[in-house]
């Protein structure tokens, strides 16, 4: 039996007239404005490499920016969580905790982020957490080990062909140069990457010591249709049996032209050969765990 509201006189329920009067009094009572709570921690607005072009118009990410807060001791707890580290989810947990919204009080669905935008968030998280200076350990083409002091704020977004993008759409078409078949494809997002990793983990258990299926699995998740056929079995069979190597290479080269991302190339010098070389930014243990 429900408890009687303490406002009621004794245990006698109110009459219809009393209920009506209370409702009118409550409606006419002066409204007390609620003050917007100001953030107790500093934040920064981060520009996304995609400029928001690949997200639906009603998605907050379509504005091309997100708001991130500076890392605190609470986020360091995430970084040191052994369970998250073993699960391989520690960085995703960290990024989720740091993302506030899009700067206009709109919540972000983390799984919607395309991978290039996620790379920008990774760099921003490191800068906001431990500063812009990063000591990277690099192996030169001649085999020597060198240490490069990198300013993470100097990385720029990659240039991509915006003319190939239909605004607020993540669907593209590409005609394969050799087989002349037409692929409809998309740029992978965080949700896709999670599914790919789960699938690869399952394949590894089944095919112990077998071939690495990372490339073909990513292609299967990228391709949406072949000559208009969206059947997933058709796509899987095509990638495994019919996708010519020269067509696969051409497709991946085209993909790089339309895929927004951060240019994480690091320019270095090999003293032994006295020549410059480039490497992808090495994400070592000390990237998010400085001093380790």
pLDDT in tens, 178-204: 999 999 999 999 999 999 999 988 888
Please state the domain extents for the chain.
43-158+262-287, 169-258
Q: pLDDT tens digits, residue range 236-289?
A: 999 999 999 999 999 999 998 899 999 999 999 999 999 999 999 998 778 887
Whether 55 and 113 have beta carbons less than 8 Å apart is answered as no
Sequential DSSP letters for 188-218 = -BHHHHHHHHHHHHHHHHHSTT----HHHHH
Categorise residue 11: left if φ over 0, alpha if ψ from -120 to 50, beta otherwise.
alpha
User: What is the enclosing helix (H) or strand (E) of 248?
Assistant: helix 245-258
Return the percentage of the chain with pLDDT > 70, whole number.
Answer: 83
Helices 190-206 and 115-130, packing angle to 10 deg: 100
Beta bridge partners of 225: 184
pLDDT at 259: 92
Beta-ladder partners of 66: 46
> What is the pTM assigned to this prediction?
0.79
Residues with Cβ < 8 Å from 162, sequence gap 6 or more?
51, 53
pLDDT at 27 over 70: no
* Confidence band of 16 (pLDDT split at 50, 70, 90): low
Banded model confidence at residue 17, pLDDT cuts 50, 70, 90: low
Which strand ranges, in their side-by-side order, compose the sheet holding 43-47? 43-47, 65-69, 99-101
């Amino acid at each position: 039996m429900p408890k009687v509201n303490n406002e009621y006189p004794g245990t006698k329920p109110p009459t219809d007239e009393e209920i009506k009067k209370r409702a009118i009094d409550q409606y006419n009572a002066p409204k007390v404005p609620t003050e917007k709570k100001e953030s107790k921690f500093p934040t920064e607005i981060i520009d996304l490499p995609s400029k928001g072009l690949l997200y639906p118009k009603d998605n907050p990410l379509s504005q091309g920016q997100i708001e991130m807060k500076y890392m605190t001791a609470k986020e360091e707890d995430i970084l040191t969580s052994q369970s998250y580290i073993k699960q391989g989810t520690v960085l995703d947990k960290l990024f989720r905790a740091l993302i506030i919204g899009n700067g206009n009080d709109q919540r972000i669905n983390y799984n919607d982020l395309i991978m290039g935008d996620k790379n920008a968030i990774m760099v921003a998280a490191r800068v906001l957490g431990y500063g812009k200076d990063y000591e990277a350990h690099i192996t030169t083409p001649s085999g020597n080990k060198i240490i490069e002091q990198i300013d993470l704020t100097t990385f720029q977004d990659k240039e991509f062909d915006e003319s190939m993008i239909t605004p607020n759409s993540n669907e593209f078409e590409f005609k394969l140069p050799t087989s002349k078949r037409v692929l409809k494809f998309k740029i992978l997002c965080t949700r896709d990457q999670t599914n790919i990793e789960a699938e690869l983990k399952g394949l590894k258990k089944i095919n112990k010591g077998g071939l690495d299926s990372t490339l073909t699995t990513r292609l299967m998740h990228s391709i949406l249709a072949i000559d208009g056929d969206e059947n997933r079995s058709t796509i899987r069979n095509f990638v495994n049996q019919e996708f010519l190597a020269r067509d696969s290479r051409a497709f991946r080269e085209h993909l790089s032209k339309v895929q927004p991302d951060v240019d994480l190339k690091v320019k270095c010098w090999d003293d032994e050969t006295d020549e410059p070389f480039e490497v992808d930014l090495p994400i070592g243990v000390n990237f998010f765990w400085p001093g380790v």
